[in-house]
Structure formats: structure tokens, C-alpha cells
Amino acid sequence: MKLSGIKSISQALHNKIISVQELHDIYLKRLNTHAENLNCIINYTPETANQQIKAAQALIDNKQAHLLTGIPLVHKDLFCTTGVNTTCGSRMLENFVAPYDATVVKNLNNRGMITMAKANMDEFAMGSSNENSYFGAVKNPWGLNRVPGGSSGGSAAVVAAGLAPIATGTDTGGSIRQPAALTGITGIKPSYGRASRYGMVAFASSLDQAGVFARSAEDCAYVLSEMCGFDAKDSTSAQVAKEDFSENLNQSIKGLKVGIVTEWMDGLSPDIKQATEQAIAKLQDMGAQLVEIELPTAHLAVSAYYVIAPAECSSNLSRFDGIRYGHQCENPVDLNDLYVRSRSEGFGEEVKRRIMIGTWALSAGFYDAYYRKAQKIRRLIAQDFDRAFAQVDIIAAPVSPETAFKFNTKKDPVSMYQEDIYTIPSSLAGLPCLSMPIGLVDDLPVGLQLIGHNLQESTILNVAHQYQQDTNFHKMVAEGYDE
């Protein structure tokens, strides 16, 4: 059968056209066919899936099922899953079996979704290309010699190749939006605090946020609605009422004010600029009003981010010392040797680099000069966005300065860090952001970023859905992966 969207799949399940087991087997076959070539999966979860399949089918048979009941998904491998390895793409946690479910996992389990596997990722979510995983680089379905973006590249590749209809991801500085753009799918990062971070292995605690990948904004809305909600176990969880993000998908965007950051457009290559301008013009044709805005301090975002995020990473990853859990070196001669060799062996080069930067930035001699100053810049950026949203309803912007690049072409860390130049500002401000496909440049996908004001996920999902009702870019599939 043709599988296209959560609503139609759910109807097929509820009408007994297909069983939960049959649906799972269709996607499992696709995983078995393509996942190895893409290197997008770290662990399969057959025992968990078998239990969930039986429970989901019982709910459907008893007419107690939710829209998401029986829908397969893949989790990024930094969400703790009971009894299953949660590696975070690192040798440090290669053999760590989580004793509990992350709240995001639990919420989706409670709706009857089926966990098929755990997706490959940049180690501890540090990277923009998914070349930093201990388990090897993930490949882009649109070109096996090209990166899928990071750090959630495994999750993005899974959805882009049609190996699962849904995958979870996390976004610290662009790690959902950039992979979504580079693989031609839809991905959303909600406002900071919307989705619980409990059970999500931490990189940078003031920035990390769970989100979702799907083909369409509509499917993202269905899943995000169930992922989010206040969680007392997470001290950073926003105390706001649970919201159905699909309720307003069909509203007209006529009269909606869309902000355009002119200097961001000027930094794009001609082809990507043209595709971005055409997508924005389409929104205007649909009734939106374009308003030029300024974000005067946004150009400082990358510099501030790469002080703040490594500082938090340095603190969060200090727990991995080879004693309680995680990789432990063999035959340590003393406690210092245990610490040094366990961490040297367990962490990859990019993780070590960020730990060192963060430790340096937090040290007594540099805290005020770097970390405190970066936090002040972060506040200025947030204030810039507040002023912008006094004039507009959403902001439309590029996602990435280029299409999916080839492996090993970014020879220095700074050039890699610049890949997040358009996504980091809104991350520092904690805003909801979405990437949706808007076409191809040189046969590679390009995405458009929609940025909303705080807690305005419904608005950006509505705009994306209306755009996708009028276009077919979200239905693009790389050659060889047609469903």
C-alpha cells in the first residue's frame, strides 16, 4: 500500500485495512534494505517494538486508539529508552543501557507509537554534519557522498529515505533544522522548555530542545502535540498548558506579517538565494505581507554560542569519568590515570575540543571576559527578536548557507561552525523554529526556516502547512527511495 502521512496511515489501521504488525513489517523491510548503506541506525529495538505492537493493536481493536497509535518511529540515540542501549553516538556510552524512558519517549509510548530503532548522531549532539559519530558518518539519501547535516542526521536520513514516517531529534544550535533542510524534509524545534529534557542526554542545558522530523508540517504537528507538556522532573520545563498544534493548521495566512532579514539574504549563494526568495514570494502570493526587519546583534550569535555551549558541555560531560558508568580504561594505575585515559579513550575529537574550550572559558581568568560577555550578547539577541516580533508574526529566513556538502570538505572547525550561522540566533533566544523544503539546487534539497515568537509553534506550523498545501516540495524523494 502507498504510505503517505500519519492521518491516512492511521485511518488504514483503524479501518483494519492493515494491521499494526503489517505496517511495522513494511517499514522494517525498508530499514533492512537501506539503513546499512546510509549508516543511519545504531540499534534496533525488536523486543520493545513487539510489546508495543501487541498493545497498539489491542487499543485499535477495542476502539480506544489515538491518531498516533501504531505509527512507527525512530528515536535519536540520546533519548533514554528502558532496557535499550542509549549511546549518544559515543564510545563513552557504547554499552550504556538506560534504566528508564525519557519523558519524550514515555509521552509517545503512551500514545501507542512503535519504537523501531535508535538513530545515529554526532557524538553527544556536537556537530553539523554527522561525521562525528563513533559509529561512523551518516550518509545523505540525496547523495551517499554527502552529509545529511547534524547532529540529528541519522533521524533526518531515516525520514528522508522513507524508513520511518517519524523520527525524533534534538536541536541545540540548529541540529533539527539544518538536517531537515539538507535532506528535504520538515523538522521543528519548539520553544525552549516546551518539551521535557528529562532523560535526554545533555549537551548544553540552556539550549537543548527535543523536536521532530516528518515529511510534512501536519505530521510534525500531530507528534509535537503529544511530545510536549509540563514535566515536574525537568526544572527547565515551561509551565504552560498542553496544546494541540494541529488545531489551527487550516487557517488562512492572509494578512500575516512575515519578517525578512535582508542581510541574511545577501550572504547566500545566487541559486539558494533565488530558491529562498521564490518561497518567500509564494507566501506573499498566499496573502502574507513582507516586512523588512533588522537583527543588529545576530552576527555575534555564532561567537557567543561557541562560548556558551562548550561551557555547558564541559560541565555536563564531567560526569563521564569512568567510575559509575560509561567507558572505563583498562588497568588504571591510579585515580588520575583512570580519569585521563577513560575520558581520552571514550570521547571523540570534537567532544574533547568543546570540553577544552568550555573549561577554558569558565576558568577564573577568562570567565568575565568570555562566558559572561557571551551571555550578555545572548540577551541582546533575544531583545532584538522581541523588537522584531513587535512588527511581524513570523520571520522567514534561510536555514543553511549551502546545500549538503561532501564528506571531509570542512577542514577546520570554524568553517563547520559557520554552517549554523542562520539557526543559532533563534536558538540563543529559545524560539520555536521550523525548516521546510522549498525545492532543489543542483539536485540537492534547500530549506526555508520559519521562526516564531516564544510559544508560537502553532503559527509557524500553520504557515508551513498552508505552503505545503500549495506546493509539492515536501513530497520530494531521493532517487531509489520511492515508497
User: Catalytic positions, please?
Assistant: 76, 151, 175
DSSP structure class, residue 288: P
Dihedral sign (CA 259, 393, 187, 384): positive
**Which residues make Cβ contacts (< 8 Å) with residue 31, sequence separation at least 6?**
41, 44, 116, 117, 158, 163, 164
Residue type (1 letter), 150 = G
Residue 113: closest CA among 55, 27, 200: 55
User: Do the bridges between strand 289-293 and strand 257-261 make them parallel or antiparallel, or are there none, so unpaired?
Assistant: parallel
- What's the number of CA atoms in the CB half-sphere (13 Å) around residue 300? 18
**Which residues make Cβ contacts (< 8 Å) with residue 387, sequence separation at least 6?**
none
- Contact by Cβ (8 Å): 176, 199: no
- Contact by Cβ (8 Å): 446, 437: yes
- Contact by Cβ (8 Å): 95, 14: no
Question: How long a stretch of residues is the chain?
Answer: 483
**What does the alpha-carbon distance between residue 251 and residue 311 come to, in Å, rounded to a whole number?**
42
**Which residues make Cβ contacts (< 8 Å) with residue 97, sequence separation at least 6?**
83, 84, 85, 86
Q: What is the spatial order of strands in the sheet that 72-76 belongs to?
A: 41-44, 114-119, 72-76, 166-171, 209-214, 186-189, 433-441, 444-452, 394-398, 257-261, 289-293
- Contact by Cβ (8 Å): 212, 187: yes
**What does the alpha-carbon distance between residue 262 and residue 68 come to, in Å, rounded to a whole number?**
40
**What does the alpha-carbon distance between residue 447 and residue 180 come to, in Å, rounded to a whole number?**
7
**What does the alpha-carbon distance between residue 68 and residue 50 come to, in Å, rounded to a whole number?**
17
Angle between helices 301-316 and 373-389 (to 10 degrees): 120
Please name every residue paired with 187 in a beta bridge, in sequence order, or none if there are none.
213, 435
Residue 213: closest CA among 249, 159, 252, 137: 159
Residue 78: closest CA among 186, 208, 220: 208
- Contact by Cβ (8 Å): 172, 207: yes
